[in-house]
């Protein structure tokens, strides 16, 4: 009986220590987004649609080339948290993390929940270094669906991170997205922005840090995002709404372009908590944002990929048609 009691006490103490332990508060937090353009391996037996099969890597050798190039870009950036768009499945993420660890000595973990874009079979995912406490997907309520004001996000993922303890604890709610593409989908993207804004609204005005990032595919230029536009619905739909600050606006105009056709498709938006230095305590504050175009473009010029990606000579073949964005936040 005494032995059993001792075991229970030790087990309880161990469990309690695990609950109280958390990741150390980092002095710097870096959060990045990158659309990796049809990051599909060479095995198409697990794909259902003809489009996904068509866009798969044509051989194991080409897939290995792609894996190593994507890993190289990520290793150069070394983000704490990275959301990727147009990923095939968990297996390609596992292969990517293996290359990052074995060739670049950087260990990432995976947050993955399959979406339901069955037309492309593409997914939105997170890779992260530490700090994750939970991740999920969200859906509309019946009332929201019947209102006709919203449109589902078939490709998205929410994650919550925590670092530090007690009064020093910093929390971050981050959502990675991939909105509908093509100019004719502007109204659907506006409804997607409205849905995402509704989900985030309860968290925007408080002390919790919030980041929304990914490929938003806006059809308007950055300077034309006025009330009623796609991104405005997300950033500040009414005068009384807490603002989401689009960090892309702090870049020089040429650096805002994240796609080779000259569009600012990819964005990083944050709430005021990450912009303002809270008095009397250390917290994360926005420092800078950078476009990593130079890591993606290979050869002499951008080459339009579309459906000819693997037909381009490897010396000229860019890693993706999108360029990564990464924001840095300092603890101060």
Q: pLDDT at position 119, please?
A: 93
| Residue 229 pLDDT > 90 | no
Looking at the predicted structure, is the pLDDT value of residue 11 above 70? Answer: no
Query: Under a CB-based contact definition with an 8 Å cutoff, are residues 197 and 175 in contact?
Result: no
Say yes or no to pLDDT of 113 above 70.
Answer: yes
Strand pairing class (209-215; 170-178)? parallel
Residue 256 near residue 222 (C-beta atoms within 8 A) = yes
Comparing C-alpha atoms, which of 67, 73, 5 is closest to residue 40? Answer: 67
Q: Does residue 140 carry a pLDDT above 90?
A: yes
226: pLDDT confidence band, cut at 50, 70 and 90? confident
Between CA 184 and CA 44 the distance in angstroms is 30
In the three-class reduction of DSSP (H, G, I as helix; E, B as strand; rest coil), residue 111 is classed as: strand
How far is the CA of 129 from the CAs of 82, 106, 132, in angstroms? 9, 9, 9
pLDDT score at 18: 39
Whether the pLDDT of residue 26 is over 90: the answer is yes
pLDDT given at position 99:
98
Burial label for 83, CB within 10 Å (0-12, 13-18, 19+), is buried
- Whether 85 has a pLDDT exceeding 60, the answer reads yes
**pLDDT value of position 155:** 97
- Look at residue 283 and give its three-state secondary structure: coil
Percent of the chain scoring above 70 in pLDDT: 92
Contact yes or no for 230/265 (Cβ under 8 A): no
With cut-offs at 50, 70 and 90, classify the pLDDT of residue 12.
Answer: very low
| 213 φ, ψ (degrees, to nearest 5) | -150, 160
Q: Going by C-beta distance under 8 Å and a sequence separation of 6 or more, which residues neighbour residue 152?
A: 139, 140, 192, 195
Cβ–Cβ under 8 Å, residues 137 and 111: no
Mean of the pLDDT values across residues 214-219?
A: 94
Average pLDDT over all residues of the chain: 91
- Look at residue 17 and tell me whether its pLDDT is greater than 90: no
Band (pLDDT 50/70/90 cuts) for residue 168 is confident
Q: Any idea which of 50-54, 144-148, 298-302 has the lowest mean pLDDT?
A: 298-302
User: CA dist 297 to 64, 216, 301, Å?
Assistant: 18, 21, 7
Instruction: Say whether 278 sits in a helix, a strand or coil.
Output: coil
The answer to whether 167 touches 121, Cβ cutoff 8 Å, is: no
Contact in structure between 294 and 252 (CB atoms under 8 Å): no
3-class DSSP assignment, residue 290:
strand
């Amino acid at each position: 009986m005494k032995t059993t009691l001792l075991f229970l006490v030790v087990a309880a103490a161990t469990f309690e220590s695990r609950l109280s332990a958390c990741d150390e508060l980092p002095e710097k937090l870096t959060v990045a987004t990158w659309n990796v353009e049809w990051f599909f391996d060479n095995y198409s037996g697990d794909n259902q649609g003809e489009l996904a099969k068509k866009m798969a890597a044509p051989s194991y050798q080409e897939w290995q080339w792609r894996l190593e190039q994507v890993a190289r870009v990520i290793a150069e950036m070394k983000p704490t948290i990275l959301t990727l768009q147009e990923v095939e499945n968990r297996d390609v993420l596992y292969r990517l993390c293996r290359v990052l660890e074995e060739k670049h000595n950087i260990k990432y973990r995976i947050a993955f929940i399959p979406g339901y874009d069955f037309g492309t079979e593409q997914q939105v995912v997170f890779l992260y270094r530490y700090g994750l406490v939970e991740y999920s997907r969200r859906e509309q309520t019946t009332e929201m669906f019947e209102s006709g004001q919203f449109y589902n996000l078939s490709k998205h993922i929410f994650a919550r991170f925590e670092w530090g303890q007690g009064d020093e604890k910093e929390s971050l709610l981050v959502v990675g997205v991939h909105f509908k593409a093509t100019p004719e989908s502007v109204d659907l993207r506006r409804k997607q922005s409205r849905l995402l804004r509704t989900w985030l609204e309860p968290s925007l005005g408080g002390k919790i840090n919030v980041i929304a990032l990914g490929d938003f595919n806006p059809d308007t230029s950055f300077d034309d995002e006025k009330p009623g536009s796609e991104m405005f619905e997300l950033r500040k739909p009414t005068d009384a709404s807490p603002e989401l600050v689009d960090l892309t606006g702090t870049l020089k105009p040429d650096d805002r372009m994240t796609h080779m056709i000259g569009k600012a498709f990819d964005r990083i938006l944050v709430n005021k908590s990450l912009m303002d230095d809270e008095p009397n305590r250390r917290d994360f504050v926005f420092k800078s944002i950078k476009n990593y175009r130079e890591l993606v473009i290979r050869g002499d010029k951008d080459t339009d990929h579309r459906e000819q990606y693997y037909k381009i000579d490897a010396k000229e073949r860019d890693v993706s048609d999108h360029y990564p964005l990464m924001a840095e936040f300092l603890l101060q």
